[in-house]
Amino acid sequence: MERALIKINGIVQGVGFRPFIHRLVREYGLNGTIRNTSSGVELELDGEESILKRLVAEIPQRAPGLAVIEDIETQYGLACAGFTAFEIANSKQEAIRNTLISPDICICDDCLRELKTPGDRRYHYPFINCTNCGPRFTIIKDVPYDRVKTSMSCFPMCPDCDAEYHDIENRRYHAQPDACPVCGPAAVFLDAEGNILAEGEESISRAKEVLKEGKILAVKGLGGVHLACRIDNRIFAETLRRRKERDEKPFAVMCRDISCVREYCEVRPEEERILTGNRRPIVLLRKKGEREAELRHLSENRYLGVLLPFSPLDYLLFGEEFDALVMTSANLSDMPILHRNEEAVEKLHGIADGFLLHNREIQTRCDDSLCMVIDGSEYFFRRSRGYVPQPVRISKWEDLPSVLACGAEQKASFCLTKGGYAFPCQHIGDLKNFETYEHYQEQIRHFQRLFDIVPQAIACDLHPDYLSSEYAREMSDHLKIPLFPVQHHHAHFASCMADNRLEGDVIGLIWDGTGLGTDGTIWGGECLTGGYEHVYRVGSIKPVPLIGGDRAVKELDRVAFALLRESGADVSGKENAQLYEAMLAAGLNCPLSSGMGRLFDGIAAILNIKNLASYEGQGAVLLEAAAEEKETGLLPFELVKEKDLLLFDWRKMVEALVEEQKKKTPIGCLAARFMNTLIQMAVMQCEAAREKTGLSRVVLSGGTFQNRYLLERLPEHLREVGFSVYHHRRVSCNDEGLSLGQAVIALYRLGKGKNVSGCST
């Protein structure tokens, strides 16, 4: 007999891991102890080495579904400790915290069954959970993950729950957030004025009444408060839109079950897998053709964001009564999602007709995740609830320094690294909003504490005026650590490389709306070559003057005017023609932009698809929605060499569009031809880059690649001519994913050329 010390690192806390080990050890008839440490769990067992090794080999194979085992360190042949039983020891606070915390996970099948079983002591109890499901990230205040360090600390367990907690045969053995109606949190219903009208089970029936009457209900979920209403009468959603001042941005819809989803949308098998999986993001699904008209007020494009219920409260709210409800984050004009009861009642006064709240505190706000499904997995627009704070493995090296990357501004994000992991944050929002900026700073501190990260360098965008850059400068001064400003499109480029764990040099097509270039102009239609250390700009698009600067981002007609004028079209009859002419002639507040997003905006306005945008990227979204998908035609264009840059000259294309419009060619065909032209142009730019450098791997990044039309066609065209193509898989292609790229570039600069990802090329 001897003793073995087994350290298991990864997401192994709060996922039923210790009970699993306990049962496994008992099968082998061994004695010892297990404890949570800040790096995972630590197991000590007495036994024969061969038997101990067999047990260790079984751990990864039989671990609970939510566990993510990163590695297992073992030491055999230690002196026998003489254990007489198997014990779960108290948590040990280690100096180095390396714990991976589980995201919030949707209710499991076992809990759902109990929820629906009359006579079960948790029948209809909205806070039912077990070791396999329930809230985690949103209730954890600190590590190690124990009840006292969560929002559940104020709910001492009743004798029944306590017995379950200590019973190894029970599914709730050591389930930290476990509770029942006797000892746990309770729901409460308030009217529009904030008067409490019902508590407990009755509050849910009162909430249902609100929905039945076609009114708007505020519901406190896992990561924040949502606003809900029925979708079967457009007036309900339109009222919500008006009260929330959410002009035209699509609403997400929560459906009772997958068969309800099928009533409204096409669902491919891989989409069903992600919709019904335990993370429950909002998935963008194609609306059924015959449902288009009735769903138009919810989403003005071809897709509808759909999610299934994930918390027990959601299931109870739906019951059998509703098929589909609008479910939108309760936040006002770019503020963070509301999460406190008093605040919800105050801020949603005049918006919500009733409130379904509860007394379990949301420690950390976390919005719903949003994705589409590409190649069988999530392609994120927003990586948040259900995924965060799960880290992204960026390197096999563990001895890397830690860095903080501060992201951009409008779709703000940060990312901290530790060892071979990056921890991207949840959805934050636009930092120009004061509360959002505060939330951003608070979450940086929270992540640093949770994962015990002390950054040794800070990365930020090259744009000095971004609030994230300002924050980064202050922190760098305060902590006396180096600051690395990173060019925006280089960061996108590196983000996609790190996302796919690429090393060496690649070609990148980085298309987005706006990012400051190294020459002081606005970039965004870039073809780059290089790697983490440097990139070279080899291709771009002919810059467009943005008449009135930022105003042109909303007033798409201004971009259209500039495109038309530069292409030699007659613009004299256009609105404000004289003013715009004068501004262009004088170069007055007409910054040049090579942003692909702006080109989309301008073309959308020329085609009369959208002239005034009410949300960011609307022109591009609607242009994509208008496109005739079977159209394969192209428009004329030129690629011109200017200095070392291969520029997409769009003037002939714009000219041709105007001609086609005169011929009454359908707008759908023209929208498609425009995007086909971009694809053709991109392939040519990549071919030129390959000729020059010999590189044949292409990464695609930037917000423009939220466009499914492009994403479903461009890679195919590139592969046809021999390129390998990589798109984002683990973080968003838009600015939310930017911080990952900044972080890896900072690591690279700190390491002065050390191979960061540890992958061969």
In the bound complex, what is the minimum distance in angstroms from residue 506's beta carbon to Zn ion?
43
Nearest to 196 by CA among 340, 354, 316, 317: 354
Instruction: Please check whether residue 367 is in contact with residue 439, taking contact to mean a CB–CB distance below 8 angstroms.
Output: no
* Nearer to Zn ion among residue 180 and residue 317 (C-beta): 180
Residue type, 412: A
In the bound complex, what is the minimum distance in angstroms from residue 204's beta carbon to Zn ion?
19
* Nearer to Zn ion among residue 182 and residue 721 (C-beta): 182
Give the integer Cα–Cα distance in Å for 658 and 668. 14
Helix-strand-coil split of the chain, %, nearest 5 = 35, 25, 40
* Nearer to Zn ion among residue 131 and residue 567 (C-beta): 131
In the bound complex, what is the minimum distance in angstroms from residue 128's beta carbon to Zn ion?
7
* Nearer to Zn ion among residue 140 and residue 670 (C-beta): 140
**Which residues contribute to the site for Zn ion (CB under 5 A)?**
108, 111, 130, 132-133, 158, 161, 180, 182-183
Instruction: Please check whether residue 179 is in contact with residue 151, taking contact to mean a CB–CB distance below 8 angstroms.
Output: no
DSSP state of 705: G
* Nearer to Zn ion among residue 185 and residue 702 (C-beta): 185
* Nearer to Zn ion among residue 171 and residue 302 (C-beta): 171
Give the integer Cα–Cα distance in Å for 452 and 434. 27
* Nearer to Zn ion among residue 28 and residue 165 (C-beta): 165
In the bound complex, what is the minimum distance in angstroms from residue 178's beta carbon to Zn ion?
8
| Phi, psi (degrees; rounded to nearest 5) at 54 | -65, -40
CA 197 to chain centre: 37
Taking CA atoms, 42 is separated from 28, 37, 38, 39, 719, in Å, by 18, 7, 10, 9, 47
In the bound complex, what is the minimum distance in angstroms from residue 47's beta carbon to Zn ion?
32
Block residue for tokens 């022109």? 619
Give the integer Cα–Cα distance in Å for 274 and 387. 12
In the bound complex, what is the minimum distance in angstroms from residue 279's beta carbon to Zn ion?
15
* Nearer to Zn ion among residue 132 and residue 426 (C-beta): 132
DSSP string, 513-533: EEEE-TTSSEEEEEEEEE-SS
* Nearer to Zn ion among residue 130 and residue 260 (C-beta): 130
Question: H or E stretch including 209?
Answer: helix 201-212
Instruction: Please check whether residue 21 is in contact with residue 59, taking contact to mean a CB–CB distance below 8 angstroms.
Output: yes
Contacts of 106 (CB under 8 A, 6+ apart): 133, 278, 279, 280, 309, 310, 311, 386
* Nearer to Zn ion among residue 279 and residue 490 (C-beta): 279
In the bound complex, what is the minimum distance in angstroms from residue 100's beta carbon to Zn ion?
20
Task: Write b or e for each residue in 528-566: b if 16 or more Cβ atoms lie within 10 A of its Cβ, otherwise e.
Answer: bbbbbeebebbbbbbbbbbbbeeebbbbbbbbbbbbbbb
In the bound complex, what is the minimum distance in angstroms from residue 151's beta carbon to Zn ion?
16
**Pairing verdict, β 544-545 and 592-593:** antiparallel
In the bound complex, what is the minimum distance in angstroms from residue 159's beta carbon to Zn ion?
8
In the bound complex, what is the minimum distance in angstroms from residue 182's beta carbon to Zn ion?
5
